[in-house]
Structure 1
Amino acid sequence: MKIVLTGSLGHIGRPLTQQLAAKGHRVTVISSRQEKREEIEALGALAAIGSLTDSHFVTTAFAGADAVYCMIPPDFGQADQVAYYQSLGRIYAQAIQQAGVKRVVHLSSYGAHLPSGTGFISGSYAVEQELNAIPGIELTHIRPTFFYYNLLHFIPMIRTAGFIGAVYGGSDRLTMVDPEDIASAIAEAMQTPERTERVRYVASDDRTCNEVAAVLGQAIGMPELEWQTLTPEQVLAGLIAHGMPQNAAENLVELGLALHTGKLREDYDQQVAVTGSISLDAYAPVFARAFRSK
């Protein structure tokens, strides 16, 4: 198969490229950075260097592809996060139709069943709607849960305050996933279009925030580590104080509240998810190494 991947060689893109190239597929990786070309080619793929905001470039890159993988690269600098998602979603939809692509796998998120009230994930809902409107394609939305590496953002807080704190915590359930497990689910979906599912959830582990704190605390030598629930006002003020733009900070707080209330996972809990192989206990040493190196 000729497969085109967006997302460059990020947390998901690198293992996804490796898996598909190893299976003998002709893989093209889109990246905005010219210096990534050599690295992409070293993995056995072709590099297409350009901007995802350039509709002509994206259409040209998609031309002749049997399948494409579409994701929206995070950009906290955007003044309106949802509008940013919508803009790239429209470019993808246009390119898919003009290039005649028939198999599309889109990286969405759990919570994308809701049009609002989920922060950034409202953007994933919007992109899903754009792609759902394309006639005659085989489409799967991959909806991963909370990425393990997002736990790394709590390291400065643990160092300075001695606890983890967010608008969610305590007994709130946190369903987590490793990017390699996501990559495996995407690769499987791209190679088996006859098993097309419109939505496929991916998760690696499911714990309460208290349980997450206990596992991470044990790994870093702080067995009494707690995960405290903070007020939205406390979290918003902290994010802005650390330089995050207002819109991005408000979206993160809204997202956290959706996790706290359970709204984020309400559809996930009704489905059968693809279960990954990398548990929280397996991820904990990675967290510990990062904690000790920072």
Structure 2
Amino acid sequence: MEGSTMMVSSKNKKMGSSKEQLYHVIHKVPQGDTPYVKAKHAQLVQKDPEAAIVLFWKAINAGDRVDSALKDMAVVMKQLNRSEEAIEAVKSFRGRCSKQAQESLDNVLIDLYKKCGKVDKQIDLIKRKLRLIYQGEIFNGKPTKTARSHGKKFQVSVKQETSRLLGNLGWAYMQKPNYLTAEVVYRKAQMIDPDANKACNLGLCLIKQGRYDDARSVLGEILRGQIPGSEDIRTRSRAERLLVELEAVQPPLELSDILGLDDDFVNGLDRLMNEWAPVRSKRLPIFEEISSFRDQLAC
């Protein structure tokens, strides 16, 4: 009888443990009773972002998963329109984070600068990340890194990361607005790793310059499925809307009305890339392959 009771007790413990594990899997929260675990529970289960921020602060001060706590806290602050505060937090406490976390913290800062409209700071940080790529110092020297989106892991190559950063840089220049510089950067991004979303942005950039035929050509490639990602419904819908807007725009702008190149950056993007670092064995082939787009514009 006693042995039977012990077996039932052991079975109940296993069932309880299984339910607890299932709970954490469903809600995508870690197990434990630390400040960081409590913060994630407040964020994802209780849906209480203010309480989550307080607990993330406690986790950082306690040295509990500081890398994740700082990044997660900044994301929650951004959602609450506290981006300025998040920027200061990342700058103040990133020194407590590991070397491996610095790259992702830079990505967080880029998003925060974008949210706050700090375009120049966003541009400077993106350039710095591109410089690290050029020097072969991104991904801790590895050709790929593991990224996570919506709970799923996937591999990102250096080539994809370069194109993504150039796409972000192009959009930042669009906000200045410096459309000619944005065009140069977008075309560089498309040469490295083309996708339909950046092609839409390039089409918009060309419309802003009054270069309607060029814009029609780029947007038409999306609708004909000639660019990776063209099958995405939202991207195709955006391309269609841009084509409609294109037909309704004013006559082309005079050349004098178009903003010129950013002499500090794209006055020869290739030249600047050569200035970023001496020739090294780690130099990426993608930068060797990029020809001067400014010469093409002059033709």
TM over 0.5: no
TM-score by length of 2: 0.30
Bigger fraction of residues in helix: 2
* Larger-Rg structure: 2
TM-score normalized with structure 1 length: 0.31
Higher RCO, 1 or 2 (CA under 8 Å, sep at least 6)?
Answer: 1
